[in-house]
Amino acid sequence: MGYQLGEQRCCIGVWLAPQRRRQPCPFPHPILPPDTQAQCAACAMVDPGKMLARNATMDDGRDYALYLAWFGPGLTKVGLTATERGTDRLAEQGALAFTWLGRGRLPAVRAGEQRISASGLAAERHRRRAKLAAWWRLPDRHQRQHEVRTTYQRIIGTVPWPPGLGREACDVVDQAELFGLDALPPSCQEITALSSGAVLSGTVRCTIGRDVVLDTPDGPLLADTRLLAGWLLQPTTAAPTGLELRACDYAQSNDATAQPSLF
């Protein structure tokens, strides 16, 4: 892949899921290069997905699924997604394994999510760095699935189930091979920001959720593709340039127990 960025990064507007279209920002507000959220404050405030995350949507008429996701040892997460999206949400988040917990309308599914989070058996979010660090410390498939099944059984056995939330049987889906985690390099440099006119290019080694690892002449690079949002992109075969980098070795990270924050 290879992209050259334009001159200015602007707000991407609002994604309207039911219409499957994006509503442009009326003012195209500038967005800072290091930001992973490429929306201005006004668009973020009315974005339906952001409103759902803030628990500002009571019921939008769609059916939802409650899931239990696994991102690494000790990193289980409970969340919800519209059933019409299938497993897209799990792929976007880079969930290495998951199982469905239940299905129903939004109020019941949200209640289930909140009760499970309050029980301490699964969090609603984990730090991105903790997730990335887990990629280099993965147990085998059997151990991954065992941790998901064990957490599922504890949830079913201890958490009061909300009315209207249908229960799903435990059926663990493992996505480590889908993401190509067996191809991870021992270490890499991470892109922290892209400047005007920068070139992001290389050979894709693996893609996990929104992150991509690229092989370049100067070594592997880890890029959060959300940094590309809001830039005008042109295809290019030029070498990488204009990238802000930091050396990192997630294989040595001990961040898995850090305070959770938004991904």
SS (H, E, C) 53-73: HCCCCCCCCCEEEEEEEECCC
According to the model, what pLDDT value does residue 252 have?
A: 58
197 and 98 in a common domain:
no
Domain final position from 123, 155, 176: 176
Within-domain flag for 7: no
Within-domain flag for 33: no
Within-domain flag for 19: no
198 and 109 in a common domain:
no
196 and 103 in a common domain:
no
191 and 108 in a common domain:
no
Within-domain flag for 67: yes
162 and 73 in a common domain:
yes
How far is residue 200's CA from residue 213's CA, in Å, rounded to a whole number? 11
According to the model, what pLDDT value does residue 257 have?
A: 41
The one-digit pLDDT tens for each residue of the chain (263 residues) are 999 999 999 999 998 877 889 999 998 899 999 999 999 999 999 998 888 777 767 788 889 999 999 999 999 999 999 999 999 999 999 999 999 999 999 999 999 999 999 999 999 999 998 999 999 989 999 999 999 999 999 999 999 999 999 999 999 999 999 999 999 998 899 999 999 999 999 999 999 999 999 999 999 999 999 999 999 999 999 999 999 999 877 655 544 443 332 22
140 and 70 in a common domain:
yes
Residue range(s) defining the domain that contains residue 134:
63-176
According to the model, what pLDDT value does residue 54 have?
A: 75
User: What are 247-254's contacts with CB under 8 Å, separation 24+?
Assistant: 247/189, 248/187, 248/188, 248/189, 248/190, 248/222, 249/187, 250/129, 250/132, 250/133, 250/135, 250/136, 250/187, 251/133, 251/136, 251/137, 251/186, 251/187, 253/129, 253/130, 253/132, 253/133, 254/133
170 and 235 in a common domain:
no
Count of domains observed in the chain: 2
81 and 102 in a common domain:
yes
Within-domain flag for 20: no
According to the model, what pLDDT value does residue 201 have?
A: 97
Within-domain flag for 16: no
171 and 67 in a common domain:
yes
Domain final position from 128, 148, 176: 176
Domain final position from 176, 196, 225: 176
209 and 170 in a common domain:
no
Within-domain flag for 122: yes
Within-domain flag for 223: yes
According to the model, what pLDDT value does residue 132 have?
A: 92
165 and 99 in a common domain:
yes
According to the model, what pLDDT value does residue 69 have?
A: 98
119 and 223 in a common domain:
no
